[in-house]
Copies of this chain bind each other. A is one copy, B any other.
Amino acid sequence: MNIRKARKEDCPRILELIQELALYEKAPEEVTVTLEEMEEAGFGNKPVWEAYVAELDGTIHGIALYYIRYSTWKGRRIYLEDLIVTEKMRGKGIGKLLFDQVVEEARSKGYSGMVWQVLDWNEPAINFYKKYQATFDSGWINVSINN
């Protein structure tokens, strides 16, 4: 399994994995992002997101997509937006490889840390994160206005 930075030509497969996960979560209609928007936002004039992909024999089986957030208390940090492994390849440690790579990215770039969210009922994920001495801060509501 080769872990490498995502390239523009990976975007169709990345979007496929995002859609696969949304289908699994029974919310496929929520994915309104287009391939063009994703390519522009990742590889255009002002790139916002980056990703690592897990590749085997030319096929991408998993992704870890992140961007730089700005904490007014801690400065620049990596926000891990999505960690996805295609269903038939789960349970092989691919998610951990990708996760560790993003942790390493945050360290090597000198950011103050890495942040992400987990649902409060997702015990297996919470137990996984505890192994990293992660800090948990509960009671938050995500609020949004859609244009």
Contact = CB atoms under 8 A, between A and B. Distances in A.
Given A79-B69, A132-B145, A140 B118 contact: yes
Given A106-B147, A114-B144, A115-B143, 7 more contacts: A38-B75, A48-B69, A67-B70, A69-B69, A119-B139, A135-B143, A135-B145
Interface of A: 18, 22, 30-34, 37-38, 41, 48-49, 65, 67-77, 79, 81-82, 103, 106-107, 110-121, 126, 129, 132-147
Copies in the complex: 2
A18 B75 CA distance: 12
**When A and B form their complex, which 4 residue pairs have the shortest distance between CB atoms, in order from nearest?**
A49-B70, A113-B146, A33-B75, A137-B142
A54 B114 CA distance: 31
A116 B140 contact: no
